Chain A
Amino acid sequence: MFSKNDKVSVRQVEILLILDLFSVSTLSFPRMAAEIANQDAWIAVIGATLLAFIYGYTITSIVKRFPEDTFVEFSSKVLSKSVGIFLSLLFSIKLSITMAMELRIFGELVKQVLLPRTPIEIIMASMLLTCAYLVRKGYECNARLGEILVFIIFIPLIVILLFVLPDTDFSNLKPIFTTPFPRLLKGSYFLSFIYTPIELILLVGPLVNDLKKARRVSFIAITFTGIINVILTIITVSVLGSVGTKQQIWPVMTLMQIIEIPGAFVERQDALMMIFWILIVFSFISTLMYFISFILTRILKAEEHKFLVLPLVPIIYLISLIPDNIVEAFNWIEFLRKYIRILFLLPIPLLLLIVAKIRKLGESIEEK
């Protein structure tokens, strides 16, 4: 049965991916899209989604060649072992920094909206410890929790978004296609960072019990998130206008504050939105934490990942405390985004794929 071998089903991976993709920068990406393309922000998002399909295709191709291996193993097989371990360490460092920054931004947001007088260290530490509790129980528990959380998060979110519609002014989207095409392309490239969590498929191989459907699953996840992102961008720009969107750090939060739900007794909806945000970020951080410990487990060829989780907690905690304020944290993310994050999305998988084909390694899956 499904519980004896602790593998997750493909559907669960799909749900987890959706959750992860949704969380990276959902609150703020309309701003970045608007910065690049003004009122054509939604077109940039569509472009980013198309790019993400390419990433997904590449990554799932390489993963399907090595069904039982994670990135650690197949990079060691395809390229040499030391290069493989170096890349894996790089991967884990990148994930750690992402996780630490995400944690930091989350803490700032909670502090700002919910708990102004609480020290941010305690907010972050409590979230980290709860994530550690989940991660110690294994990936299957993560998957099951994701299944429950996805309902709790998405259904109210969509319902709340419906209430924004009275405030939308679609004329804010005009004129369309005024942004020059190269700029749109560059913008799409920059924006595709929101689909970065796709790279986690590189690691998920031995945990899933039916890898053949991986490609379809990743496409469904990207499409679903893509649609939501586009809708979100359209609504944000049409409500706030392209200039207004550029001025808010977190446009989606501002959106929540504008909504008036008639007859509901909850008045500060942005605090309500924080509930969903907390759940989303929790899911994302615990996924990242699991994969970091997973990579390290595979590098060290250890049996269990549990004992690596607890040492990770203080490390991530300290990293997240390094930036002095939220602007610096954002700068870090910008830096990561520009130079490093694309690495694992396209060049490295492509490289591995080409070398694997040349060296005829792995199971050749010419038929899909």
Chain B
Amino acid sequence: MKILRRWVGNKLSKERWEDKFHDADNKVTLPLSKDLEENIKNLELLFKDCGDFVSRKFPVGIHKEVNMYVAYIDLMIDRRIIEESLLEQLMLQVRGVPPHMDKIRSSIYDFIRDGGIATADIKEVDTLDEAALAILSGDTIIFIDGYAKVIVVATKGWPNRGIQEPDSEVVVRGPKEGFSEALRMNTVLIRRRIRDTKLKVKQLQIGTRSRTDVALMYIEDIVRKDILEDLGKRLTDFKIDGILDSGQLEQLIEDDWRSPFPQIQATQRPDKAASAILEGRIAIIVDNTPFVLLVPTTLNNFFQSSEDYYQRWSIMSFTRMIRYVAAFFAAGVPGLYLALTDYHPSMIPTQLTMAIAASREQVPFPSVVEVVLMELAFELLREAGTRLPGPIGSTIGIVGGLIIGQAAVEAKIVSPIVVIVVAVTAISSFAIPDNALTVGFRLVKYLIIGLSSIFGLYGFLLGVLIVLIHLVSLKSFNMPYMSPFVASGINDYEDLKDSVFRLPVFMMNKRPIFSRADKRVRLRTNKKKNE
């Protein structure tokens, strides 16, 4: 992260942002004046060469005494609001007001602001920078002749994808809503699920050119204050041009950029975000992306999917255990295969050894090369499948997997057992609910393959130990990454109830360690002991 920050910093210092109109933070420095013509001139200067900038100057009042000026960006606004609530009011209704013009003239600004505009959301700003930002966010601004203040009317209405089913976190049972790209829509989706007055939405802007809206949502009395402060500090620790997705933000605020394992979780599902907030975590919503970040995160969180809590405990405990086993397989199976067949064939039952030896007889490469070759080929297939659109992508999967694999076996390039090993590895990596963690295991797999091919079973264990050491030393916002498997005595082993197995709901009556220590009880049943 330090290197990223330094790179970003160097880039920024070479930029010549300070020109006549902007300061070092890309904020507009032109002043507002009471003269309408000057304001119009400054604004048009800022928006020179912007073909989508729409403006209109018109007089108001029975005798058309006062000039007003309206500006917005085309198609970012809801035209209906402007035309019905703004212009119609100002041009027609206000004109019909009987002229006590002297009284009104002295405070025509207040008159128009308080009575002339029929929308619910009006703000008043007094710098040109905020006015420009408002125009660029989809609001409409109104200049009034004779006043150095600007009225900002909320008229946001740009085209949006709307709420659709999330494509990456699919559940069988559970809500099928997914976040969309508009910040406000995402906060609404969470608000609908937590109707608590203590749910706070703290907004800030990140990025000097993009001025992306970022919202932090948390429940005030459950969240840990130190984590909130740490997060606030990290978010202001850097100065970047623009943020296009929460992934960039994640990389700038995470604890250890060198690790292949993600330390912040991203989700597209509002119910998952709401559940995390109820546990005491903080949701970071970034404008223009449907991926919401959840902070802090432990390893256990990546193995939990929303469905785990909506279905019953026995099947879901079983599924959880399978997921953990799958994680081990995804990293360890190729290495284990190499170690056992190359160095300790006596550990495998004799018949299996004979079968493996027979199938490997005519393959020209050593085992390591076979395994690495097949793994890389599979990575290629995976990447190709992601990029190809729709039906072609799935066809390639079948074609690639079955037919090419079969052909490779018959051409004696690889042995069938290696194909099985690689297939098991790949399927296991898909069983982990959160994609981001899979990447960690995919990378670590090669380390274990390398060590196993040199040192056999001893090397396999060394590889596993190195990975475990790394995982154990990771922290996510000062929370150990491997809780609840380590140090779970802190919360009376409550966290273990939701890790490898998922105990029935009525047993999980305390929050995990993410929340404040004194606010842990979340469930109380009325069942008496002898009912």
Interface positions of A (Cβ within 8 A of B): 1-4, 9, 11-12, 110, 114-115, 118, 123, 126-127, 130, 133-134, 137-138, 141, 143-145, 147-149, 265-268, 271-272, 274-275, 278-279, 282
Contact = CB atoms under 8 A, between A and B. Distances in A.
Given A114-B343, A265-B349, A274 B457 contact: yes
Interface string B45-76: 00000000000000000000000000000000
Interface stretch (B145-153, B319-327, B463-471, B521-529): B463-471
B469 A114 contact: no
B487 interface: yes
Contact of B343 (A115, A130, A275, A282): A115
B486 interface: yes
Contact of A265 (B348, B458, B459): B348
A147 B344 contact: no
Interface stretch (B6-14, B165-173, B199-207, B474-482): B474-482
A342 to B, nearest CB: 33
A287 to B, nearest CB: 13
Given A144-B480, A148-B472, A279-B461, 8 more contacts: A2-B490, A12-B486, A114-B458, A115-B455, A118-B455, A130-B466, A145-B469, A274-B457
A130 B346 contact: no
A275 B461 contact: yes
A275 B457 contact: yes
A148 B490 CA distance: 16
A3 B475 contact: yes
A201 B252 CA distance: 41
Contacts of A126: 455, 459, 462
A11 B347 contact: no
A82 B115 CA distance: 88
Given A3-B480, A134-B469, A148 B485 contact: yes
A128 B455 CA distance: 15
B489 interface: yes
B465 A279 contact: yes
B466 A133 contact: yes
B164 interface: no
B468 A148 contact: yes
B472 A115 contact: no
Contacts of B480: 2-3, 144
Given A1-B226, A118-B455, A133-B469, A127 B344 contact: no
B473 interface: yes
Chain B CB within 10 Å — which of A2, A12, A265 has the most? Answer: A2
A49 to B, nearest CB: 26
Nearest to A135: B469
B12 to A, nearest CB: 32
Nearest to B479: A3
Contacts of B466: 130, 133
B456 interface: yes
A123 B478 contact: no
A272 B458 CA distance: 11
A267 B348 CA distance: 6
Interface in B316-355: 343-344, 346-350, 352
Nearest to A3: B478
Interface string B415-456: 000000000000000000000000000000000000000011
B344 A123 contact: no
B469 A130 contact: yes
A265 B355 CA distance: 15
Q: Dominant SS at the B interface?
A: helix
B344 A9 contact: no
B456 A115 contact: yes
A144 B468 CA distance: 10
Contact of A12 (B344, B468, B485, B487): B487
A148 B484 CA distance: 11
B295 to A, nearest CB: 15
A354 to B, nearest CB: 36
Contacts of B487: 2, 9, 12, 144, 147
Given A9-B487, A267-B346, A267-B348, A141 B458 contact: no
A141 B472 contact: yes
A272 B347 contact: yes
B455 A266 contact: no
A147 B348 CA distance: 30
Contacts of A266: 347-348
A268 B349 CA distance: 9
23 contacts: A1-B226, A2-B480, A2-B487, A3-B479, A3-B480, A9-B490, A12-B487, A114-B458, A115-B343, A118-B455, A130-B465, A130-B466, A137-B473, A138-B473, A141-B472, A141-B473, A147-B485, A148-B468, A265-B349, A267-B348, A271-B344, A272-B347, A279-B461
Contacts of A123: 455, 458
A271 B457 contact: yes
B458 A110 contact: yes
B349 A144 contact: no
B456 A114 contact: yes
Interface string B303-326: 000000000000000000000000
A1 B458 contact: no
A118 B462 CA distance: 15
Chain A CB within 10 Å — which of B343, B347, B479 has the most? Answer: B347
B344 A114 contact: yes
B349 to A, nearest CB: 5
Contacts of A3: 475, 478-480
A274 B343 CA distance: 14
Nearest to B460: A275
Contact of B469 (A12, A137, A147): A137
Contacts of A130: 462, 465-466, 469
A171 B7 CA distance: 75
A275 to B, nearest CB: 6
A9 B489 contact: yes
Nearest to A283: B465
Contact of B462 (A127, A145, A147, A274): A127
Interface string B221-244: 000001000000000000000000
Contacts of B459: 126
A135 to B, nearest CB: 10
Contacts of B350: 267
Interface string B488-517: 011000000000000000000000000000
B457 A114 contact: yes
A61 B459 CA distance: 42
Contacts of A134: 469
Contacts of B226: 1
B482 A144 contact: yes
B472 A144 contact: yes
